[in-house]
A and B are shown apart, each in its own frame.
Chain A
């Protein structure tokens, strides 16, 4: 019993459908928590596509970092709307125009990439799982400087956040 040939296209359309429908949901939901949940669906669908392409590490990192990070987004959303939980977001006219312009530019460039690529070559064999060890070696040898720069940036963000979240020192709270 081998993997049936229809399974991979089926899974592709399933995950792609989930990703696209939830992407629509992000834009169309007026409620911020529902939008964030739809974002979770998109990220999960893309992670499923990664799994399908044997990019296991990327898929799991997608789930841990992005889908896990959505939790924080939900909390921010809830806290920002905590005064009235039933507030709905309506876009202003200018915002709609601006976002339409950005989307049109993105769409045109994606179409250009789609038509420029030579698709006649077809898929070259089945995808291979890249060992995590190799990815780690590449990150810590060939791309060490950008990797470390990103980690320094994250450290700075961490320290800044901790500083902002500190309770006020006693001297300053006693002042009027």
Chain B
């Protein structure tokens, strides 16, 4: 019996399968509690108490929510596309749940009963193009929204779906550019290699601050979160793409959104915050007492260190999930033309400039550790200066649309269509 367990845990396939099973359970629980924390953080932001009746501190609220969702009537409105109406929430949820397998959760470990020199990866799957896999799966998430909105036979839901599609297509480009900058500097698409490179040098947050800001912005847009939640803008679209959904189907959309946030947070933590490394520059801290302990966490192959690394990575994910919620309850929603302009006239040019500068630095062979952050910040300053010098309002209507509207006698009104 013990030998069998050792055999299963001692092989990469067995360990990965166990790890995936455990992390699905953990993520499902975390997703349910995300909703609780969203409500708590909203309450703190608005100086309220938030859920505090069910269980101590309201901690059983997700259970109550779950029971309520299951007991509600599962209503299907008339004249909807029945197949797609049922498939859409599944798509939204499944796609959100398959991204996390490539995230490097815990680094390399070696069980005591294994041979010296053999190591296992504490993660679901290690594929050589992990970053591209995450991008591909992340871009699939919009299908749930689009299909749900289209099949509902409701004009508000349909508008939400079309907005989500346009938004996703626009924000994938700056997201790819920000990641490409890091890929170019690191020379790796494998997520573990990106973490290893950060442990060996410095966190990408310090090397590529602008790329980090860009990825954070586009991650907010990709997960349909405020200030980019135009697909479900309550004031304009009733409830957006999920207007017609009830019961557990509605809940699946919500759970999928939070699962997507967790995966996006994992991506941010992996690519920019050193993955499972507790603090930056642990390799320099090896001499001191506390530093030596941190260095042990980052470099040891003992299962205990692996467990601590899992905790560190989970903590970073939790931090980013908090940032997502914090942003949602602090910033107002963009108008749709502002959203498009931010992507196409702001993020895309800066991203392309960043990529070109990074390539030039690599070609010149300049040490990246000081030149990359300087160049990126300089680029951002230049872009801001150009914007100020052009004298256009950042939040104003698009000039060409305004001209067309004034010609048609719709001055000051809504943009021409």
Contact = CB atoms under 8 A, between A and B. Distances in A.
Given A2-B13, A37-B84, A60-B132, A170 B403 contact: yes
A167 B136 contact: no
Nearest to A168: B404
Interface stretch (A61-69, A97-105, A110-118): A61-69
A56 B128 contact: yes
B127 A56 contact: yes
Contact of A67 (B127, B136, B407): B136
A72 interface: yes
Interface string B1-29: 00000011011011000000000000000
Contacts of B142: 71
Contacts of A174: 407
Nearest to B151: A33
B404 A132 contact: no
Interface string A16-60: 000000000000000101100100100000000000000011001
B136 A64 contact: yes
Given A131-B128, A167-B416, A173-B408, A78 B11 contact: no
A170 B128 contact: no
Contacts of B13: 1-3
B83 to A, nearest CB: 7
Contacts of A146: none
B114 interface: no
Nearest to B176: A64
Interface string B221-241: 000000000000000000000
Contact of A71 (B83, B135, B136, B143): B143
Interface residues of B, number: 41
Interface stretch (B162-170, B266-274, B299-307, B373-381): B162-170
Given A2-B13, A31-B81, A85-B153, A74 B146 contact: yes
B14 A1 contact: yes
B132 A64 contact: yes
B404 A167 contact: yes
Contacts of B403: 170
A170 B406 CA distance: 9
A1 B7 contact: yes
B30 interface: no
Interface string B81-109: 10110010000000000000000000000
A123 interface: no
Interface in B344-371: none
Nearest to B189: A132
A85 B403 CA distance: 33
A2 B13 CA distance: 7
A49 B282 CA distance: 42
B180 to A, nearest CB: 12
Instruction: State the main secondary structure of chain B at its contact with A.
Output: helix
Contact of B168 (A61, A63, A71): A71
Contacts of B407: 170, 173-174
Instruction: State the main secondary structure of chain A at its contact with B.
Output: helix
Contact of A40 (B135, B143, B150): B143
Interface residues of A, number: 31
Contacts of B83: 34
Interface in B122-158: 127-129, 132-133, 135-137, 139-140, 142-143, 146-147, 150-151, 153
A1 B128 contact: no
Contacts of A72: 169
B401 A60 contact: no
A68 B128 contact: no
Nearest to A44: B140
B84 A71 contact: no
A129 interface: yes
B192 interface: no
B98 to A, nearest CB: 11
Nearest to B12: A1
Contacts of B147: 33, 37
A74 B91 CA distance: 15
Nearest to A86: B79
A68 B146 contact: no
Interface in B170-225: 172, 189
A174 B404 CA distance: 9
18 contacts: A1-B11, A1-B14, A2-B11, A31-B81, A33-B151, A34-B81, A34-B83, A56-B128, A60-B132, A63-B137, A63-B139, A68-B136, A74-B150, A75-B146, A85-B153, A129-B128, A170-B403, A170-B406
Interface of A: 1-3, 31, 33-34, 37, 40, 56-57, 60-61, 63-64, 67-68, 71-72, 74-75, 78, 85, 129, 131-132, 166-168, 170, 173-174
Interface of B: 7-8, 10-11, 13-14, 81, 83-84, 87, 127-129, 132-133, 135-137, 139-140, 142-143, 146-147, 150-151, 153, 162, 165, 168-169, 172, 189, 400-401, 403-404, 406-408, 416
Closest 9 CB pairs of A and B: A63-B136, A1-B14, A1-B11, A60-B132, A64-B136, A170-B407, A170-B403, A167-B404, A173-B407
